[in-house]
Amino acid sequence: AVYVFMNQAGTSFPAHPSLLLHGPSGSAFGLSVVSIGDINQDGFQDIAVGAPFEGLGKVYIYHSSSKGLPRQPQQVIHGEKLGLPGLATFGYSLSGQMDVDENFYPDLLVGSLSDHIVLLRARPVINIVHKTLVARPAVLDPALCTATSCVQVELCFAYNQSAGNP
């Protein structure tokens, strides 16, 4: 388990944890924990938590916000899905807050006990700015549906890419 103590501005840490994060039993969830920078470019620092004995190992990504950390991760990176022969205990060690490829997004280095390290590079964040969704007809009558279609959907949106440092 990971015990999270959220400090309020100008005060000391509370006596009891603000949040308790749990992983699967026997996974060593929380053996490694690291601040990874602001990977989703929302202005708040995010964290990664290793669970090296869950399968071939996993890393849980939590995005913080003005409300603190969520109870559930926003992303789970599975060691077995990386396709590296011999990889085991993925997530045993973590190193964050670095920009290895100099694209203004923080990257994450993940270690294991199987002589592998994995560099996970953060990718640009796309923000949907405006969107409209129109379905015609607005109310469907299944009797009017054909084998090809019974509804027409139009989706329009605008987006921008975060430039790295918000």
Residue with tokens 């090809």: 148
Both 44 and 6 in one domain: the answer is yes
Instruction: Indicate if 6 and 52 belong to the same structural domain.
Output: yes
- Spatial distance between the Cα atoms of 130 and 1, rounded to a whole number of angstroms: 40
Assess if residue 105 is contained within a domain: yes
Tell whether 68 is covered by a domain: yes
CA distance 129 to 1: 37
Instruction: Give the domain extent around 55.
Output: 2-120
Could you tell me if 92 and 148 lie in one domain?
Answer: no
User: In this structure, is the dihedral angle defined by the CA atoms of residues 36, 37, 40 and 46, taken in order, positive or negative?
Assistant: positive
Angle at 60 between CA 9 and CA 83, to 5 degrees: 150
Same structural domain, 79 and 152: no
Whether residues 84 and 147 share a domain: the answer is no
Residue 166 lies in a domain: no
Residues 104 and 49 in one domain: yes
Give residue 164's pLDDT.
61
The reply to whether 69 falls in a domain is: yes
Prediction pTM value: 0.79
Q: Based on the domain organization, do 141 and 116 belong to the same domain? A: no
Domain count, the chain: 2
* Residues paired with residue 128 on neighbouring β-strands, in sequence order: 159
Q: Which positions of the chain have pLDDT values less than 50?
A: 166
How long, in residues, is the chain? 166
Residue 122 has a pLDDT of 87
The dihedral region occupied by 122, where left means phi > 0, alpha psi between -120 and 50, and beta the remainder, is beta
What pLDDT, on the 0 to 100 scale, is given for residue 165? Answer: 53
Question: Is the domain of 93 the same as that of 130?
Answer: no
pLDDT of residue 166: 45
**Does one domain contain both 110 and 152?**
no
Q: How far, in Å, CA of 128 to CA of 116, rounded? A: 37
CA distance linking residue 112 with residue 91, whole number of Å: 6
Alpha-carbon distance of 159 to 154, in angstroms, equals 17
Residue 47's CB is within 10 A of a number of other CB atoms, namely: 22
Is 49 domain-assigned?
yes
d(C-alpha 60, C-alpha 20), whole Å: 14
